[in-house]
Chains A and B, each alone.
Chain A
Amino acid sequence: MSKVNWPLWEVFVRGKAGLSHKHVGSVHAADAEMAIANARDLYTRRSEGVSLWVVPASAIVASDPADKDSLFEPADDKVYRHPTFYDIPDEVGHM
């Protein structure tokens, strides 16, 4: 049986103007144009979007899950970066 071996493309859909593109899944396609056509047929059959991005899956660089702690844990103890860390009397009103 002949293999197809079309590259994998990650698909991102903008739900409506004003929202950013969001990852929804992937498609296989021989080229970029076909990837857009396939993504349109697969991920926007019910008005889910107004714009599509397709990106060769091989082009995505991701952080290593093993680095999760060293990359993201330092943010956990920096409560002073959040507005609720600061005491403002109620009389001042909404701030």
Chain B
Amino acid sequence: MSQTVADPAGAPVSLEQRFQDWIDAERKIEPRDWMPDAYRRTLIRQISQHAHSEIIGMQPEGNWITRAPSLRRKVALIAKVQDEAGHGLYLYSAAETLGASRDDMVADLLTGKAKYSSIFNYATPTWADIGAIGWLVDGAAICNQVPLCRTSYGPYARAMVRVCKEESFHQRQGYEIMMVLAQGTPEQKQMAQDALNRWWFPSLLMFGPPDDQSPNSAQSMKWKIKRHSNDELRQRFVDMTVPQAEFLGLTIPDPDLKWNDERGHYDFGDLPWEEFYAVLKGHGPCNRQRMAFRNKTFSDGAWVREAAAAYAGKQKARQAAAVQAA
């Protein structure tokens, strides 16, 4: 493992050291550059999990497409769910530049070997949940994803630039839904409050375990895959979201939430970490439903994939025959 190359002055330097120096100088890594195996593995795991999250993330919202309250809401929701599929595909495409196979990644999702974000294991029983997801879940995703636009791996960073541009529409359409409900009848406002009550803590859990319990974070920060710690991003999200809730006239369901003048940030109460680990282990409200639906969709589409492959094969054979005949 101690392969060396010469530095500009002719002194031997390990490939790892040269890689780290390159990253420390804020330069990007591209697919065919030398990289440590662990860097490659970390990225494949992170990018494919991110892709799986986008794919599974279509389900909670897809649930409301047929029942959206107006045509305006319906076209927006269809476009948003289509974007989530698109984000998944940008990300699979980025992971493939590292040598991961698309078929393997899809198989890992379907068999449950791979993880996806736990937030998508929560149910969407009311229309206000669609507002809350756009506002809070996409808001949290934006906090996580904006720094990833500067991540050290070029294809991942470029995919994230596209994703972030589109997420902005997602968050605004969600907030608009919340706004209309919050300014509506008392029942509508209550529906919005109820959705906020259910989505607030799960959204904060999206940032992952506290820094002192996040074993891989330090290495990811050193490689500049991650740019900010989980707790830092979580705080940023809280600071950004509290005034937005105030504007809506809704109450964040945390009695310990209060502005801390000294820190210049909002303090907030303990997070339900037992819930986080339970959902991660498969015991969330919808884990089994999400996986069953994904597997059913994949099986239901098998005949389409087979027909397309047969058609492509036939066309190719015809072209080859025509070339021979000419």
Contact: B309 with A6, CB < 8 Å? yes
For B86, the chain A residues whose CB sits under 8 A away are: 41-42, 45
> Once the chains bind, are B89 and A42 in contact (CB under 8 Å)?
yes
Task: Kindly supply a per-residue 1/0 record for chain A positions 1-43, scoring 1 wherever the CB is within 8 Å of any chain B CB and 0 otherwise.
Answer: 1111110100000000000000001111011001000000110
Residue contact A65 to B315, C-beta cutoff 8 Å: no
- B212: which A residues are within 8 A, CB to CB? none
Given contacts A30-B312, A31-B315, A42-B90, contact A4 B103 (CB under 8 A): yes
The listed residue with most A CB atoms (<10 A of its CB), out of B79, B89, B96, B166, is B89
B34 within 8 A of A: yes
Asked if A59 is at the interface of the complex by the 8 Å CB criterion, the answer is no
Interface size on B, residues (CB 8 A): 32
Determine whether A62 belongs to the interface, using a CB cutoff of 8 Å to chain B: yes
Interface of B is mostly: helix
Q: Contacts of A3 on B, CB cut-off 8 Å?
A: 103
Q: How long is the Cα–Cα vector from A65 to B89 in the complex, in angstroms?
A: 27
**Contact status A30-B159, CB under 8 Å:** no
Task: Tell me if B103 and A5 are in contact (CB < 8 A).
Answer: yes
Distance in angstroms between the alpha carbons of A6 and B89 in the assembled complex: 14
A34 to B311, CA, bound (A): 11
B158 proximity list for chain A (CB < 8 A):
25
B34, A65: Cβ atoms closer than 8 Å? yes
A65 close to B33 (CB less than 8 A) = yes
Say yes or no for B316: interface residue by CB 8 A criterion.
yes
Q: Which residues of B contact A8 (CB under 8 A)?
A: 96, 102
Chain A interface residues (CB < 8 Å from chain B): 1-6, 8, 25-28, 30-31, 34, 41-42, 45-46, 62, 64-65
Enumerate 16 A-B pairs (CB-CB under 8 Å) in ascending A order. A1-B110, A1-B111, A1-B298, A3-B103, A4-B106, A25-B90, A26-B93, A26-B96, A28-B102, A30-B308, A42-B86, A46-B166, A62-B32, A65-B32, A65-B33, A65-B34
